[in-house]
Amino acid sequence: MATKAKIAFGGMVQRSVNGTNWTRMAEIKQFAIPIGQPEFQDGTTLDSEEGYREFVKGLFMVPDVSMVGNWTPDEFNACLADMARAEPTYYRITMPKFTGQTTAGYSTFTAYPIIGMPANGIADIMNIEVTLKVTGKPVWTAGA
């Protein structure tokens, strides 16, 4: 059977200050979908069976997610403005559509962006790195 794997080309990353009016982020090259993961608290006691640790499922946490894009003045300034705001920024990451889909799957979430510009060699393409500190529950909407 042939693989159904697909490259990320055709995906899209957008941002919004209100969750309603979306702006496409320019020239994004790498992105990640945030997924909540449960934390586990150590509940081991002196009575735990044969010295094995016991855990209690705790709250969910979303690890930081990162994006990389080509550095452009407009995108850099927009990201700096998002980082300066007291409120989190809304993000929507849309995956490319698969064969037979009429709508693509997408994730919406809020996050505080942390902006960086890695060291670039003299002949390298300049990049911007955006690390997102996700706050609250990300929502995945499946494509159809």
Q: What is the pLDDT of residues 55-76, one digit of tens each?
A: 999 999 999 999 999 999 999 9
* Contact between residue 105 and residue 81 where contact means Cβ atoms under 8 Å apart: no
Q: What is the pLDDT of residue 4?
A: 84
CA dihedral 34, 71, 114, 28 (to 10 degrees): -10
Q: What is the pLDDT of residue 55?
A: 97
Question: Where are the alpha helices (H) located in 1-144, listed in sequence order?
Answer: 73-84
* Contact between residue 107 and residue 34 where contact means Cβ atoms under 8 Å apart: yes
Q: How far apart are CA 35 and CA 42, in angstroms?
A: 22
Per-residue pLDDT band for 1 (boundaries 50, 70, 90) equals: confident
**pTM score above 0.75:** yes
Just give the CATH number of 12-141: 4.10.410
Domain ranges for the chain: 12-141
Looking at per-residue pLDDT, the higher value among 118 and 58 belongs to 58
Q: What is the pLDDT of residue 34?
A: 96
For residue 81, the SS3 value is helix
Q: What is the pLDDT of residue 83?
A: 97
Q: What is the pLDDT of residues 62-115, one digit of tens each?
A: 999 999 999 999 999 999 999 999 999 999 999 999 988 999 999 999 999 999
For residue 96, give both structure tokens.
Answer: 């490319």
Q: What is the pLDDT of residues 8-34, one digit of tens each?
A: 999 999 999 999 999 999 999 999 999
Q: What is the pLDDT of residue 99?
A: 87
Q: What is the pLDDT of residue 138?
A: 98
How many angstroms separate the most distant Cα atoms in the chain? 62
* Contact between residue 107 and residue 140 where contact means Cβ atoms under 8 Å apart: yes
Please report the sign of the dihedral spanned by the C-alpha atoms of residue 72, residue 78, residue 82, residue 85. Answer: positive
Q: How far apart are CA 66 and CA 43, in angstroms?
A: 33
